[in-house]
Chain A
Amino acid sequence: MPPPPDPAVLRGMPLFAGLDADGLADAVALARPRLHPRGTAIFSQGEPAAAGHALIDGRVKIVQTGPDGQQVVMRFIGPGEMFGTLAIFTDGLYPADAVAVADCVELSWPAATMTELMDRHPAIARNALSIVGGRLRELQNRLREVATERVERRIAHALLRLVRQAGRRVEAGVEIDFPLSRQDVAEMTGTTLHTVSRTLSAWESQGIVESGRQQVVIRKPHALVAIAEDLPPVPKRE
């Protein structure tokens, strides 16, 4: 076990912002310092959340595994950041794995100690709230992106299905050769007319599609495929 850290290690950490020297000393005295070599797990998804954690040095990867076994990197934690702390205040289970991706020095506080510290130093609770609020905002942004992308890809796939079935080469590109309303596309993709209209309008302004009242021409077939298949952007050639 590494020697007990100097209270100065907590200085500059958002979780302990606004604490005086006594407060910092109190927090450090109750902390358990630990070293985690690169590649080792600090905690695992589904384990009882025994403690709140703060990273002093190194880098930690937070990885969540879905029911289908697919892993998603939720975020990377750097020096000075807290992690795994929220679980203490929710269902008491760690929601993800924390893996040291570099040699790490970490402080942790057992759940009961963390709540006790928050009672004694309300600034810690306020700081935690502000950190959680910031991460919630990040997640909301990410969710919006994912949701938007998903519906875009669904609509692109629907148009490609129709091209496969009824595509016709025309001067301007590839036409879907039967009357097709935006409502039809909405029903094919399980989304709303509003979303289809918004998406097609955006694609129209990018010159990808051209849609009349009842027909759709794909002017940039590859651009539509790239959206549907999530292809990497093509590097510009000289």
Chain B
Amino acid sequence: MTARELQLADLTMAEFMRGRPAAVPVLLRHGLACPGCAMAPFMTVSEAAEAYGLELGALLEEMAGLDGPACSSMETV
């Protein structure tokens, strides 16, 4: 895993989704209930992947390049 991916893995799910709205459909497609979830601000991307039995590296790779401008409408997530 790259240093960049390790960094992303330690973000909370809420931070991660706020920075990358385009990741939301990918997460939903994998069955993650993170978008809108009360626990999203408290759980890291790595913890979420583990909870859903997903391979962290593969998940991050799939979402690589989805970085985009912060979406202010999701700040309350």
Q: Which residues of A contact B (CB under 8 A)?
A: 160-161, 163-164, 167, 169, 174, 218, 221-222, 224-225, 229, 231-232, 234-237
Which residues of B are found within 8 Å of A161, using beta-carbon distances? 38
CA distance A232 to B32 in the complex (A): 11
Which residues of A are found within 8 Å of B43, using beta-carbon distances? 221-222
- Closest chain A residue to B48 by CB distance? A222
Q: Which residues of B contact A (CB under 8 A)?
A: 31, 33, 37-39, 41-43, 47-48, 51-53, 55
Which residues of B are found within 8 Å of A237, using beta-carbon distances? 53, 55
Which residues of B are found within 8 Å of A229, using beta-carbon distances? 33
Q: A225-B33, A229-B33 are in contact. Are A167 and B51 (CB under 8 A)?
A: no
Contact A174 B53 (CB under 8 A): no
B36: min CB distance to chain A, Å: 10
CA distance A164 to B41 in the complex (A): 9
CA distance A224 to B33 in the complex (A): 12
Contact A160 B51 (CB under 8 A): no
Which residues of A are found within 8 Å of B39, using beta-carbon distances? 160, 163, 167, 174, 218, 221-222, 224-225
Q: Give the contacting residue for A167; candidates B33, B42, B55; CB below 8 A.
A: B42
Which residues of A are found within 8 Å of B48, using beta-carbon distances? 222
Instruction: Name 15 interchain pairs, CB-CB below 8 A, sorted by A.
Output: A163-B42, A174-B42, A218-B39, A221-B42, A222-B43, A222-B52, A225-B33, A225-B39, A231-B31, A232-B31, A234-B51, A234-B52, A235-B53, A236-B53, A237-B53
Contact A169 B37 (CB under 8 A): no
CA distance A163 to B36 in the complex (A): 13
Which residues of B are found within 8 Å of A224, using beta-carbon distances? 39
Contact A164 B38 (CB under 8 A): yes
B67: min CB distance to chain A, Å: 24
A57: min CB distance to chain B, Å: 40
- Closest chain A residue to B55 by CB distance? A237
B15: min CB distance to chain A, Å: 13
Contact A222 B31 (CB under 8 A): no
A220: min CB distance to chain B, Å: 8
Contact A234 B53 (CB under 8 A): yes
Contact A231 B33 (CB under 8 A): yes
CA distance A232 to B38 in the complex (A): 19
CA distance A163 to B53 in the complex (A): 23
Q: Give the contacting residue for B42; candidates A169, A231, A232; CB below 8 A.
A: A169
CA distance A224 to B41 in the complex (A): 15
